[in-house]
Amino acid sequence: MVDRIWRLFSLALILLTVCTACAPPPAAAKDRSFPDMSLEFLSEYQLPKISFEGTRVGGLSGITYNPKGIGSNSTKGYRFYAISDDPSENGDARFYSLRLDIAPNSSGNLAIAKVAVEGVTYLKTAEGQTFPWGAIAPEGIALSPRNSVFVASEGVTHSGTPPLVGEFDLATGKQRATLPLPKRYIPDASDDKQQQGIRDNLGFESLTIDPETFSPGGLDPFRLFAAVEAPLMQDFDSEGTNKLRLLHYIIVDKTPQLVSENLYEVAPAPLSILNGLTELVTVTGGQFLSLERSFGLSGYGARIYQVAPGAATDTSRIKSFKGRSSSIEPVRKKLLLDLNDLGIPLYNLEGMTLGPRFSDGSQSLVLVSDDNFDDAQKTQFLLFRLKTGF
């Protein structure tokens, strides 16, 4: 992704010229339909530039927590899995097993004391072969209840790499299944003749599984949600409105079903040259947290929203969002936290997951940034306490 970001940076002077009067949108009135929820920032941890088993550790674009991992308390650490967006360039496509030690710091506040890489699992095709260079572009990861992870691959239009949401064995990395994607997500060309499908490097990025639908052994159906980072080609308009599509699946053994699709609107980010949805996390009560990441003249920015899809229009039969804004009800959103208010430098935040519960019953929330395999960027972990009124 780094090449795309820095190519876009050359457009910043144009944005500065035409958007000097831009200002953040006014704060919305309190929406009482959203349950009370708050985020408390606890700590930041930056992972040093390291290699593990011959691979460069970097490009961490998605993260998921395993509550049955290596420990049930902070003295033993907690198990997470992080997907690298490496398209088999700095090592075969892979995800890492991470241990996060969360413990009181010298001030008595909970913090990430250490992040250790403890394992690597290579993604493999159904035939058991690692993916060749450019054949997959991993971005999202979600742990399932049946000893597997689902991986979202955004797709690379110019090279003919299609988008994919697949299931991979947790232990071996071998592909078990692929979720059906509607034809409207598949590019109809790899050049400027494209009229349909995901745009170049802007496909599936967000991926989450509803933990409330987990069952022992993963025998019961469960819900999975996936979303694209930016509008599909047929939904993109010259006004620059960020109208995305969010997919809802029911995962049934061997017969996954696409249930519905909804419109998700990314909030404007003044003076940004890159602005999109990078992660979704399901929370109790049929709602999500969403992570929107931007990049512009002042660097990276990020916001976390509460998202309520219940009253949203099913858009699965709508071929294009162009000219349809007034007739489509999007998923509802409420700003929970603007991470720019934390007072710390932000990096390319792309991954987010619920983590272990703290002793007071509150839930931890962990974010990770993609360093783009760039020495000037950081792999940044952020730890929050999530309190809800459910």
The pLDDT of residue 326 is 76
Name the residue with tokens 């960020």. 242
Q: Is 39 left (phi over 0), alpha (psi -120 to 50) or beta?
A: beta
Q: How far apart are CA 16 and CA 154, in angstroms?
A: 30
- First and final C-alpha spacing in the chain: 38
Q: How far apart are CA 137 and CA 88, in angstroms?
A: 9
Residue 346 per-residue DSSP state: -
Give the type of residue at 27.
A
The 3-state DSSP class for residue 3 equals helix
Structural domain total, the chain: 1
The pLDDT of residue 216 is 72
Is 156 a domain residue?
yes
Number of continuous H segments (helices) and E segments (strands) in the chain? 2, 22
The pLDDT of residue 75 is 53
Measured at the alpha carbon of residue 155, what is the angle toward residues 263 and 136, in degrees to the nearest 5? 140
Is 253 a domain residue?
yes
Per the structure, the complete domain to which residue 165 belongs is given by: 2-18+42-384
Dihedrals φ, ψ of 276, to 5°? -160, 175
The pLDDT of residue 15 is 33
Tokens for 308, please give them: 């309520």
H or E segment and range at residue 352: strand 349-357
Measured at the alpha carbon of residue 365, what is the angle toward residues 248 and 222, in degrees to the nearest 5? 30
Is 389 a domain residue?
no
The pLDDT of residue 144 is 95
Strand partners, 198: none
Q: Count CB atoms within 10 A of the CB of residue 187.
A: 24
What per-residue string of b and e applies to 130-161 under the rule 16 or more CB within 10 Å gives b? bbeeebbbbbbbbbbbbebbbbbbbbbbeeeb
Q: Which residues contact 333 (CB under 8 A, 6 or more apart)?
A: 265, 267, 290, 305, 306, 307, 308
Tally the residues of the chain: 390
The pLDDT of residue 35 is 84
Report DSSP letters for 361-375, one per residue.
SPEEEEEEE--TT-T
Is 31 a domain residue?
no
Q: How far apart are CA 34 and CA 334, in angstroms?
A: 8
Is 390 a domain residue?
no
Is 307 a domain residue?
yes
* Averaged pLDDT, groups of 10, the chain, 390 residues long: 43 34 41 82 98 97 91 69 95 97 92 97 97 95 96 94 96 97 96 94 95 79 96 84 93 90 94 94 90 95 96 95 86 97 97 95 96 97 88
Is 100 a domain residue?
yes
The pLDDT of residue 32 is 58
Give the type of residue at 218.
G
Q: How far apart are CA 220 and CA 178, in angstroms?
A: 18
Q: How are beta strands 363-369 and 379-388 bridged, if at all? A: antiparallel
CATH number of the domain bearing residue 116 = 2.115.10
Is 49 a domain residue?
yes
The pLDDT of residue 194 is 95
Q: How far apart are CA 265 and CA 191, in angstroms?
A: 26
- Of 341, 337, 342, which is closest to residue 352 (Cα–Cα)? 337
Does residue 318 contact residue 325 with C-beta atoms inside 8 Å?
Answer: no
Q: How are beta strands 94-104 and 110-122 bridged, if at all? A: antiparallel
Does residue 258 contact residue 242 with C-beta atoms inside 8 Å?
Answer: no
